[in-house]
Structure 1
Amino acid sequence: MESQVNPARSPSVDGAGGDLHLELSDGPGGRRGALIRALREAVRTGRLAPGTRLPPYRALATDLGLARNTVAEAYAELVAEGWLTARQGSGTRVALRAEPPAGGRPRRPTTPSRPRRPAYDLVQGTPDAAAFPRTAWLASARRALTAAPNEAFGPGDPRGRPELRRALAEYLGRARGVRADPDRIVVCSGFAGALRLLGQVLEGTIAVESYGLGFHRSLLTAAGLTTATLPIDEHGARVECLAATGARTALLTPAHQFPTGGPLHPRRRAALLDWACARGGLVLEDDYDGEFRYDRQPVGAVQGLDPERVVYIGSVSKSLSPALRLGWMVLPGHLVDAVLTVKGERESWASALEQLTLADFLASGSYDRHVRRMRRHYRRRRDRLVAVLAERAPHVRITGIAAGLHAVLGLPPGTERTVVRAAAWQGLAVEGLGLYRHGEATGVPDDGLVVGYGTPADHAFAGALDALCEALPPPG
């Protein structure tokens, strides 16, 4: 016996129950048993994903030519077995824990399994996605599209749209102390896009901080450059060690060292530029979250002190969304032509329409309003994290300044891996500080957690903090 119902259409997850392809074969239990086996197989192989809403039993009975009671009894048995769930007003759905094994093949039951996706996420790196300013962004998009010249819909200029470069020059000069001429700004697809371009222009050895993102080092290495480790402490990069690296270029996060959280001390800022001048060198300034400082006004960019020795790199990944893939470089005059040469004659990555929208978003003041709002939002998040730890885990200290979208929690030596595993068992995704270490450092914790308090939605933040506290080691 074989029946199939409109196989060209797939099941609906949230509708009233869409068409469902099932093959009923002969076997024990008659038609009811055949239906149960077919539904189990559809779940087991992943054709029916967890949470998928099944058709009402009356509709499925009609489609398959079965009695209503036959389908109702099959649903009831699968609910009892845990394959399905049924709630008044929600219909019958595939149980959330009924996830298919890798490759779609059955597997034997093992020890208690954890969800593939954690219930809570405190991994650093992303802003609160729910806070994206959709209404204001849409208004800017409409204005930008209406005012866009016809040539904006042709091949893109590798420098970036002039409207955006002018708006960035005004904003960066006003808000970050950057000395930016629109002709020295090159728009790119985020910070990684900037590093890829610079990697084709620079030569020799680049000094990188002893804590940072591994994929940034990988981008430089892939470009044929050598990286040398620069130690850090609570005052940021130890720039007095630059001479020993033999490097002529240094990649730093001066406003807020990533991830340990210390700003570059003013004396070290001056020493950094003295080194660059004496060495004929270059500083790559990663200003990844420079707008978000909570205990005082944000510190201005190093680039403002010496525009000919510093490449200022920024993006909207933390302030708006990494989905936009928009960033920029403010370049010394001698690097502009070289960067444009390796970029090519046309813009390959950064959408001209998104550039025009961001230009309007900046010029209209919407970006300033959004940053101020998010600064308050993330400050409340950080304050809440501090308060919860003070109440429930006073022995755990937060290191670094009050800034950015993440904080580092110092842990007792030798406990980091244990705490990360404990967090996973609490359904919490969080990363250890060791994940970002690639050299020697002093004045920072040997073991720690990098807690991204900007990531969770508001409704999930309390639960994430509860799970975090449950995973932390006891005092002593």
Structure 2
Amino acid sequence: MPTSTDDLVITGGTFDALAVIADCLREAGHSTIAVEDPSNPHLLRMFTAHGLEPVPIAVDEEGLDVSRLDGSGCRAVLVTPAHQYPLGVQLSPQRRRALIDWAIKGDCLVIEDDYDAEYRYDRAALGALRTLAPTVVAYLGTLSKTLAPGLRIGWLAAPAWLCASVRNRKHVGDRGDNVITQAAVREFLGTGGYDRHLRSTRLQYRRLRENLLESVSTHLPDCTPIGIEAGLHVVIRLPEHEQDSTLVEHLATAGIRVAALTAYRHHHSGFPGLVLGWAQARPNQLATSIQTLAGIRGILASERRTPAARPGLRDSL
């Protein structure tokens, strides 16, 4: 069953679409929603604000652990199957089939955020979950990564029952999104400009990615880059004894903004790491930042070995 224009609702981006879906689910009797763990903590706060209790489900190297959904009490789940945020793993074929089976058997809803699907480097694309079961999958897309977050434009393709509810809520709530922006995007798509833009930026980001990987290999040989096969961010996995939150604090002092992977974890523990977005950086900035990170790690390691004999890190920077 192909998606038609009747299935589409234009939104103000991913969070707008999810907020509307949350309201529709609550009206339909839902009180909880399953989310990936780790995942963006702002999503959990948003769902809570809209009356749904988020239930974190663990993510491993195959993506969301679908086997845990049956015991969660949830009848809806939000997933990023193309490139999980922040770990960057792809939902495995076995898990994809299990997820669809869970949704069909339990009359549940899968909300598919097609995060980072446009930028892939080392792996082929998998089809969207919605193509497998459009009656139980709501598909979200956005132009935030490919064009600009400030456009605030995205789309939602939903099952018929949800699509009607979403349309009604958008009509009542905000009368729809900016039609001038929509017209400009339509022209950009129709003239082939968007396809040319994607081809150009894929090459640009691939080069940046190679520079990043080279710098990590040279200056952080004991760390592992994760999720780099696609998307515009990387998780740098740290040795188990290091505290990512401490590194983030000291990197901020040096003018480098990254996030601690532990800040994305909810109920399930895991390895420490740094979440680093690299799309807007220049090659020399990436190399300098990785060198600075290596230097800070060296100072912290020295302080752990001989805490009384070493100056404070802030004094050393």
Give yes or no for TM over 0.5: yes
Match status 1:430 vs 2:255 = no
SS of aligned partner of 1:388: helix
**Unaligned stretches of 5+ in structure 1?**
1-177
The change in CA–CA distance for 1:424 and 1:187 in structure 2 (over 3 A counts) is same
Determine the C-alpha separation between the residues in 1 that align with 2:260 and 2:198: 28
Partner residue, 1:328:
155
Between the aligned partners of 1:472 and 1:395, the Cα distance in structure 2 is 11
Measure how far apart 1:450 and its partner are.
0.3
Provide runs of 4+ in structure 1 moved above 4 Å: 345-349, 473-476
Which residue is 2:296 aligned to? 471
The answer on whether the counterparts of 1:207 and 1:242 sit within 8 Å (CA) in structure 2 is: yes
Structure 2: runs of 5+ lacking an equivalent: 306-317
Q: Deviations over 1:63-85 (max 9, x none)?
A: xxxxxxxxxxxxxxxxxxxxxxx
Aligned partner of 1:448 among 261, 270, 273 = 273
Amino acid corresponding to residue 313 of structure 1 in structure 2: L
Which letter maps to 2:22? G
Amino acid corresponding to residue 453 of structure 1 in structure 2:
W
Per the TM alignment, residue 412 of structure 1 is displaced from its structure 2 partner at its CA by 1.9
Offset, 1:259: 0.1
- The answer on 1:317 being equivalent to 2:127 is no
Question: More deviation in 303-312 or 203-212?
Answer: 203-212
Mean CA deviation greater in 446-455 or 296-305: 296-305
- The CA distance in 1 between the partners of 2:279 and 2:9, in whole Å, is 28
The C-alpha deviation readout for 1:119-155, integer Å capped at 9, x for no partner, is xxxxxxxxxxxxxxxxxxxxxxxxxxxxxxxxxxxxx
Give the 3-state SS of the residue equivalent to 1:381 in structure 2.
helix
Is this contact kept in 2: 1:432–1:449, CA < 8 A? yes
Contact 1:426 1:470 in 2 (8 A): no
1:248 to 70, 75, 91: 75
Q: Does 1:193 align with 2:9?
A: no
Alignment-mate amino acid for residue 295 of structure 1? D
1:462 and 1:365, CA in 2 relative to 1: closer, same or farther beyond 3 A? same
After TM superposition, give the deviation of residue 349 of structure 1 in Å.
Answer: 6.0
RMSD: 2.0
Judged with a 3 Å threshold, the aligned counterparts in structure 2 of structure 1 residues 468 and 299 are, in CA distance, closer, same or farther, namely farther
Query: Is 1:225 the counterpart of 2:61 in the alignment?
Result: no
- For the pair 1:215 / 2:42, whether they are aligned, the reply is yes
Bigger CA radius of gyration = 1
Question: Which residue matches 2:116?
Answer: 289
> Structure 1 residues 328, 305: closer, same or farther in 2, change over 3 A?
same
User: What code does the residue aligned with 1:367 have?
Assistant: Y
Other-structure match for 1:85? none
Offset from partner CA, 1:343-389 (integer Å, 9 cap, x none): 12585462111100111111211111111211121121111111111
TM-score, normalised via structure 1 length: 0.59
The one of 166, 178, 181 equivalent to 2:4 is 181
Percent identical among aligned pairs is 37
Match of 1:405 among 229, 232, 239: 232
Whether 1:418 aligns to 2:246 is yes
The whole-number CA distance in structure 2 between the counterparts of 1:293 and 1:287 is 13
Asked if the contact 1:198–1:339 (Cα under 8 Å) also holds between the matched residues in 2, the reply is: yes
Query: For the residues of structure 1 that align with 2:267 and 2:199, how far apart are their CA atoms?
Result: 36
- 1:193 counterpart letter in structure 2: D
| Structure 1 contact 426–471 (Cα < 8 Å) conserved | no
Q: How many residues align?
A: 296
Question: Which of the residues 357, 377, 381 maps onto 2:184?
Answer: 357
